[in-house]
């Protein structure tokens, strides 16, 4: 165990050097260097599976991976941006073939990368002069919706995820996106600043037994995903022997985003209040949410957890999302209109049956299926998903 701790501490220092530009530069190609997700599937062109996983650049050189949360915000590892958090102009992001400047960096307040084994290693970056035009305005953006953090229970050893990252070309000029299946092995604790601990704050993932895929250099900040839900962000890897190589990596360690979902949501809603539309069309990102161009009604993002009916009413009426204070539960007719406009194509929703404002009696209320338009009467004490409306 002591040997393992020492090895992992060394790895953290190694990745600090990489993150802060002290690693040696090589001029070999990705294939020659063997960097990037080992045995991963190349992911590029118009049929890319994960176009929302993009490359970050530091002073014009490829640096880390990141994943889009909204038209304006991206999620990455804290160690990728901590050094120049107060000088965000040092960073840029390549969205498809379009370079976009970074406006601001938000590192988790309990970020700790000082050599401890297991860290709070998560950050959000805000893009400069970009967001209101919507997902489709930049090539390579908008393939999936990764704003939802997995919240459906613990993982079991052997559960499979997909890891995505851009690796490192070795030239410092570009990354090549790859993805591959990885397998959950165990939870580890994460340690924040001032000794604050986060139980199960770190996921240890191991290579898929069939493909032997695992993350490598330059994949830091890239996500582990389950469908269209975020599971973790790549932090560091462990390898065998004294010489680092992708072939020697035996496990990868990802920040478990469930431990930090509330913080992610707070930053997203504060910095990107108009970012709830997944794309532009019948709905547009306007007036503090995702606005129906037909009705003029504005929909909020989905609440992070389910509520009883009385709690749902209070949640919407007391919400100040995007600085607005006139949120409310939608009527059944408004919710059915949402379905007819295919609103779930524009707004990320998890689940289907949501509370409406219609109280049937003292103990029951109407819930509407936003994916089918149907409705049913449910007990007010039942916990159901919530989305609010204004206008």
Q: Say if 298 falls within a structural domain.
A: yes
Tokens coding 8 = 């992992």
Residue 143 clears pLDDT 60, i.e. is over it: no
Same-domain pairing of 236 and 354 = no
What is the pLDDT at residue 182? 95
CA distance 283 to 252: 39
Assess if residue 270 is contained within a domain.
Answer: no
Q: Tell whether 163 and 307 lie within a shared domain.
A: no
Average pLDDT taken over every residue of the chain = 79
**pLDDT tens digits for range 259-283:** 888 888 788 777 766 556 766 788 8
Q: How many CB atoms lie within 10 A of CB 59?
A: 12
Mean of the pLDDT values across residues 321-325?
81
In a domain, 268, yes or no: no
Same domain, residue pair 153 and 36: yes
Q: Say what the pLDDT of residue 343 is.
A: 75
Residues 48 and 149 in one domain: yes
| pLDDT higher than threshold 60 for residue 329 | yes
pLDDT value of residue 218? 78
Same domain? For 256 and 279 the reply is no
Report the CATH number that the domain containing residue 55 is assigned in CATH. Answer: 2.40.10.10
Name the token pair of 56: 């970050």
Phi (first) and psi of residue 258, to 5 degrees? -65, -30
pLDDT, greater one: 220 or 288: 220
How many alpha carbons lie under 13 Å from residue 227 in its C-beta half-sphere?
7
Q: Which of 223, 238, 263 is the last residue of a domain?
A: 263
Is the pLDDT score of 128 beyond 90?
no
Based on the fold, state whether residues 210 and 342 are members of the same structural domain: no
Distance CA(69)–CA(124), nearest Å, equals 9
User: Which residue's entry shows tokens 């960096």?
Assistant: 105
Give the DSSP H/E element, type plus range, for residue 313.
Answer: helix 309-317
Residues 234 and 254 in one domain: yes
Residue 65: closest CA among 184, 192, 169: 169
Is 269 a member of any domain? Answer: no
Residue 262 has a pLDDT of 81
- Does the pLDDT of residue 19 top 70, yes or no? no
User: Does residue 22 share a domain with residue 154?
Assistant: yes
Residue 130 lies in a domain: yes
Residue 320 resides in a domain: yes
In a domain, 302, yes or no: yes
Of 4-18, 228-242, 290-304, give the lowest mean pLDDT range: 4-18
Considering the domain boundaries, does residue 36 fall inside one? yes
User: Would you say 190 and 259 are in contact if contact means Cβ atoms under 8 Å apart?
Assistant: yes
Claim to verify: residue 259 and residue 285 sit in the same structural domain: no
- The reply to whether 290 and 178 lie within a common domain is no
**Cα torsion through 207, 213, 218, 219, rounded to 10:** -70
Q: Are residues 193 and 111 in contact, defined by beta-carbon separation less than 8 angstroms? A: yes
What is the model's pLDDT at position 314? Answer: 94
d(CA 256, CA 204): 9
Query: How confident is the model over 44-62, as pLDDT tens digits?
Result: 877 788 888 888 999 888 8
Q: Which residue has the higher pLDDT, 136 or 195?
A: 195
Number of folded domains that form the chain: 2
Out of 238, 263, 288, pick the residue that ends a domain.
Answer: 263
pLDDT at residue 344 is higher than 80 = no
Indicate whether 184 pLDDT > 90. Answer: yes
Write the DSSP symbol of residue 377. Answer: E
- Give the tokens for residue 361: 């009696």
Cα–Cα dist 62/191, whole Å: 28
pLDDT at residue 21, as a whole number: 32
Is the C-alpha dihedral spanning 227, 230, 235, 238 positive or negative?
A: negative
Which of 263, 296, 322 marks a domain boundary? 263
Both 248 and 323 in one domain: the answer is: no
Residues 296 and 206 in one domain: no
Return the half-sphere exposure (C-beta side, CA atoms, 13 A cut-off) of residue 181.
10
> Which positions ≥6 away from 45 have C-beta within 8 Å?
none
Which domain does 167 fall in, by range?
2-263
* Structure tokens given for 188: 């580890």
Instruction: Put the strands of the sheet holding 375-379 in their side by side order.
Output: 353-359, 364-369, 375-379
72 band by pLDDT with thresholds 50, 70 and 90: confident
In angstroms, the Cα distances linking 346 to 54, 283, 391 are 22, 7, 18
Of the ranges 127-131, 376-380, 382-386, which one carries the lowest mean pLDDT score?
Answer: 127-131
Q: What is the CATH number of the domain that holds 304?
A: 3.10.100.10
Return the percentage of the chain with pLDDT > 90, whole number.
37
Beta bridge partners of 68: 74
Give the pLDDT of residue 319.
87
Mean pLDDT of 310-328: 90
**How far is 382 from 355, CA to CA, in rounded Å?**
10
């Amino acid at each position: 165990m002591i040997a393992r701790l020492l090895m992992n501490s060394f790895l953290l220092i190694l990745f600090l050097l990489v993150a802060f530009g002290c690693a040696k530069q090589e001029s070999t190609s990705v294939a020659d260097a063997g960097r990037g997700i080992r045995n991963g599937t190349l992911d590029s062109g118009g049929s890319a599976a994960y176009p929302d996983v993009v490359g970050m650049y530091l002073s014009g050189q490829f640096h880390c991976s990141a994943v889009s949360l909204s038209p304006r915000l991206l999620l990455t590892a804290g160690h990728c941006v901590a050094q120049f958090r107060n000088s965000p102009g040092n960073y840029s992001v390549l969205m498809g073939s379009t370079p976009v400047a970074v406006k601001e960096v938000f590192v988790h307040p309990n970020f700790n990368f000082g050599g401890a084994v297991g860290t709070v290693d998560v950050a959000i970056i805000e893009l400069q002069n970009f967001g209101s035009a919507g997902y489709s305005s930049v090539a390579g953006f908008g393939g999936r919706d990764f704003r939802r953090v997995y919240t459906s229970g613990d993982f079991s050893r052997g559960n499979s995820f997909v890891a995505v990252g851009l690796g490192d070309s070795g030239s410092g000029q570009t990354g090549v996106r790859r993805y591959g299946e990885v397998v959950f092995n165990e939870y580890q604790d994460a340690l924040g600043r001032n000794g604050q601990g986060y139980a199960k704050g770190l996921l240890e993932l191991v290579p898929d037994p069939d493909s032997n895929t695992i993350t490598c250099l330059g994949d830091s900040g890239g996500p582990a995903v389950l469908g269209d839900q975020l599971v973790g962000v790549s932090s560091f890897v462990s390898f065998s022997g004294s010489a680092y190589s992708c072939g020697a990596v035996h496990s990868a360690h990802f920040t478990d985003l469930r431990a930090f979902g509330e913080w992610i949501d707070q930053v997203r809603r504060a910095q990107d209040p108009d970012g709830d539309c997944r794309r532009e069309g019948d709905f547009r990102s306007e007036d503090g949410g995702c606005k129906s161009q037909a009705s003029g009604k504005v929909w909020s993002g989905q609440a992070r957890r389910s509520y009883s009916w009385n709690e749902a009413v209070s949640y919407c009426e007391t919400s100040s999302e995007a600085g607005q204070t006139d949120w409310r539960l939608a009527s059944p007719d408004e919710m059915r209109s949402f379905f007819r406009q295919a609103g779930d194509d524009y707004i990320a929703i998890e689940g289907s049956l949501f509370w409406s404002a219609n109280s049937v009696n003292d103990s029951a209320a109407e819930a509407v299926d936003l994916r089918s338009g149907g409705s049913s009467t449910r007990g007010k004490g039942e916990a159901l998903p919530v989305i609010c409306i204004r206008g």
